[in-house]
Chain A
Amino acid sequence: MSHELRDIWVYLSASPLLHLTLTLVAYLGGRWLYQRSGGLAILNPVLLAVVCLVALLWSTDTPYATYFAGAQFVHFLLGPATVALAIPLYRQVCTVRRSLPGLLAAIAAGSLTASVSAVLLGRLAGASDTLLLSLAPKSVTTPVAMGITERLGGLPSLTAVLVILTGILGAMIGPWLLTRAGIADPRAQGVALGTASHGIGTARAVQISETASAFSGLAMGLNALATALLLPLLWHWLAR
């Protein structure tokens, strides 16, 4: 019996089917828990799925390369999905046209603050260059952040996890911190959440108001663009 089971296991782990299926199931499980909790930021579906899958691969001694051979079909869709971000970006630009000058200034400053402060603080605390490169785009939406890190020579997978942690952190402290600092304007709260904490911050802004959510979504998109253009230039200066 155990012999047969092992044969099935050997067969399954050699085909992409198993790890592709596990990826979808782990994500659906994570999403179910997140929704059951009423949208608690700490129960982020991606984080839950990653923890489950890492535990599973680790306990079955499966190398990441074997897992990725199956999961790459999902991973490939990141490229077209990044291009597709142009559509919500276009729609939001049209709805908030009036506030655009202030918005652009806030996002440019936020983009610079996010990457420069992360790199300087990380270096001060003794982080290696690889870690710094993976940390620098932490406030950018995951697909773009991974692309930036990859181009600069960091570790995209580490970036993915750091980006998600940044999102959770910002969604948890954002509204409290901004209110304490006397920033109550829902547009400003939205821009702050979208710039610092991308999609996870935007999910939190949805709970504040419709205005906050629109500004947050736009801030996320424009911050991704701004950081993708600025960070490679900035890195030369920061790396010295």
Chain B
Amino acid sequence: MIESFAVLLVCQLIGEILVTAAHLPVPGPVVGMLLLFLGLLVRGTVPEVLARTAGALLQHLSLLFVPAGVGVMLHLELLADQWAAVGLALLVSTALTLLVAGALMAWTARLLGDKA
């Protein structure tokens, strides 16, 4: 448990250091995720303890957004001013994304003769 938590933190720390040192615009934890992913590819399996710790963290992932989400109280005025732009962008862009990703996946699967 402690070992695997340390693994996650070490990956995040290396990620943050790389991002700061190389002035990358990517978030540090994402670089950490990439490092861990590459590590797992090299290793070929997920160690049992790491899987358990990660599972415990990810099972309640959505709880972790709550503190940041409450911060919306600082921007209620901005949202009230521009709700129409936000609503339009969210609705149309989400519909477009669904169609583009879905159509391309269905089309390439057919092209490659990959049956569902």
Contacts and interface: CB of A to CB of B under 8 A. Distances in A.
28 contacts: A45-B62, A75-B68, A79-B28, A80-B12, A82-B32, A84-B58, A86-B40, A87-B36, A89-B33, A102-B111, A109-B101, A114-B93, A121-B85, A127-B85, A142-B62, A143-B61, A147-B27, A155-B71, A158-B71, A160-B69, A183-B103, A191-B102, A192-B98, A211-B116, A219-B101, A225-B30, A229-B26, A232-B25
Interface string B1-16: 0000100110110010
A237 to B, nearest CB: 13
B104 A83 contact: no
Given A75-B68, A81-B61, A127 B82 contact: yes
A60 to B, nearest CB: 12
What range describes how many residues of A lie at the interface? 35 or more
A46 B82 contact: no
Given A23-B70, A106-B100, A138-B94, 5 more contacts: A58-B73, A131-B82, A157-B74, A183-B106, A196-B101
Contacts of A33: none
Contacts of B27: 82, 144, 147-148, 150-151, 228
B63 interface: yes
Contact of A183 (B30, B32, B95, B102): B102
Where chain B touches its partner, the secondary structure class is helix
B71 A64 contact: yes
Interface in B22-41: 25-30, 32-34, 36-37, 40-41
B33 A85 contact: yes
Given A82-B30, A139-B94, A110 B104 contact: yes
| 5 closest cross-chain pairs (CB), A and B | A157-B71, A147-B27, A102-B108, A232-B25, A110-B101
B86 A144 contact: no
Nearest to B50: A87
Contacts of A122: 85-86, 88-89
A107 interface: yes
A83 B112 contact: no
A80 B33 contact: no
Interface stretch (A2-10, A35-43, A173-181): A173-181
Interface in B53-96: 53-55, 57-58, 61-75, 78-79, 82, 84-86, 88-96
B97 A139 contact: yes
Contacts of A78: 29, 64-65, 68
Given A57-B73, A79-B28, A157 B57 contact: no
B94 A185 contact: no
Interface in A123-152: 125-128, 130-131, 135, 138-139, 142-144, 146-148, 150-152
A50 B8 contact: no
